[in-house]
């Protein structure tokens, strides 16, 4: 069991996910790193399907909205996390300069995962939405 910011869950890295490597350069080539550093793209084009690449997705569904695991879940459990219509995101980059541009970002935090507002909030409220 792992606890982060008061939220406890089973450690998904104890679950074996498939290695995903495509040889078709028109889609992407992707390597999955299980040492907690997340997903490392090995090409400039993103990997995306509208399906799950792991049989463990349903068990880990609660991690779809967990800031620590959401990028991994979005890539491997696209259908389970209901992210089929979204463009894939790159992993979050930590920055000392992470800040919100809008003063009302804390009030808008519940909309960070909304497909209708996600593009705007990623631009104006990256700190509040835990994107950096």
Range of the domain at 11: 1-89
Please check the confidence at residue 81 and state whether its pLDDT lies above 80. Answer: yes
Give yes or no: residues 62 and 127 share one domain.
no
Give yes or no: residues 58 and 101 share one domain.
no
Give yes or no: residues 82 and 112 share one domain.
no
Give yes or no: residues 74 and 117 share one domain.
no
Greater confidence, 28 or 108?
108
pTM of the model: 0.33
3-state secondary structure of 82: coil
Could you read off the pLDDT of 104-129 as tens digits, one per residue? 889 988 888 887 777 778 778 888 88
Give yes or no: residues 45 and 105 share one domain.
no
Q: What is the mean pLDDT of the chain?
A: 66
Domains: count for the chain: 2
Q: What percent of the chain has pLDDT over 90?
A: 4
- In the predicted model, what is the mean pLDDT of residues 68-82? 84
Give yes or no: residues 72 and 98 share one domain.
no
Confidence of residue 69 (pLDDT cuts 50, 70, 90): confident
How many Å apart are CA 7 and CA 48, to the nearest integer?
28
Give yes or no: residues 83 and 110 share one domain.
no
Provide the pLDDT for residue 98: 83
């Amino acid at each position: 069991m792992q606890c982060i910011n008061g939220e406890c869950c089973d450690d998904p890295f104890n679950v074996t996910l498939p290695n995903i490597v495509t040889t078709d350069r028109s889609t992407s080539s992707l390597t999955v790193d299980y040492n907690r550093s997340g997903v490392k793209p090995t090409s400039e084009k993103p990997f995306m399907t509208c399906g799950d690449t792991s049989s463990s997705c349903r068990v880990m569904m609660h991690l779809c909205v967990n800031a620590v695991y959401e990028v991994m879940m979005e890539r491997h459990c696209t259908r389970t996390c209901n992210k089929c219509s979204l463009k894939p995101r790159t992993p979050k980059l930590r920055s000392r300069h992470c800040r919100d541009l809008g003063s009302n970002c804390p009030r808008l935090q519940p909309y960070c995962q909304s497909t209708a507002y996600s593009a705007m909030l990623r631009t104006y409220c990256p700190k509040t939405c835990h994107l950096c």
